[in-house]
Amino acid sequence: MTLQNRKIIILGGTSGIGLAVAKAAAAEGARIVVASSNPARVADALATLGGSASGQSLDLTDEEAMKAFFEETGAFDHLVYTAGEALQLAPLDGTDLATARRFFELRYWGAFSAAKHAHRLIRPGGSIVFTSGVAGMRPGPGWSVAASICSAMEAMTRALALELAPLRVNIVSPGVVKSPLWRDMTTEARDALYEAEARRLPVGHVAEPQDIASAYVYLMNQTYATGQTLVVEGGGLLV
pLDDT tens for residues 140-197? 899 999 999 999 999 999 999 999 999 999 999 999 999 888 888 889 989 999 999 9
- pLDDT at residue 237 is higher than 90: yes
What is the model's pLDDT at position 183?
82
The answer to whether the pTM exceeds 0.85 is yes
Let me know if 59 is exposed, middle or buried by CB neighbors in 10 A (0-12, 13-18, 19+): middle
What is the model's pLDDT at position 238?
96
What is the model's pLDDT at position 184?
80
pLDDT in tens, 66-94: 999 999 999 999 999 999 887 678 899 99
Q: What class, spelled out in words, does domain 7-175+213-233 have in CATH?
A: alpha beta
Q: Catalytic: 151?
A: no
- pLDDT at residue 1 is higher than 90: no
Contact 157, 130 (CB under 8 A): yes
For range 198-206, the mean pLDDT: 97
pLDDT in tens, 28-75: 999 999 999 999 999 999 999 988 899 999 999 999 999 999 999 999
What is the model's pLDDT at position 86?
76
* Residue of 132, 148, 173, 179 marked catalytic: 132
The domain spans of the chain are 7-175+213-233
What angle do the packed helices 16-27 and 39-49 form, to 10 degrees? 30
What is the model's pLDDT at position 106?
95
pLDDT in tens, 90-134: 899 999 999 999 999 999 999 999 999 999 999 999 999 999 999
What is the model's pLDDT at position 52?
86
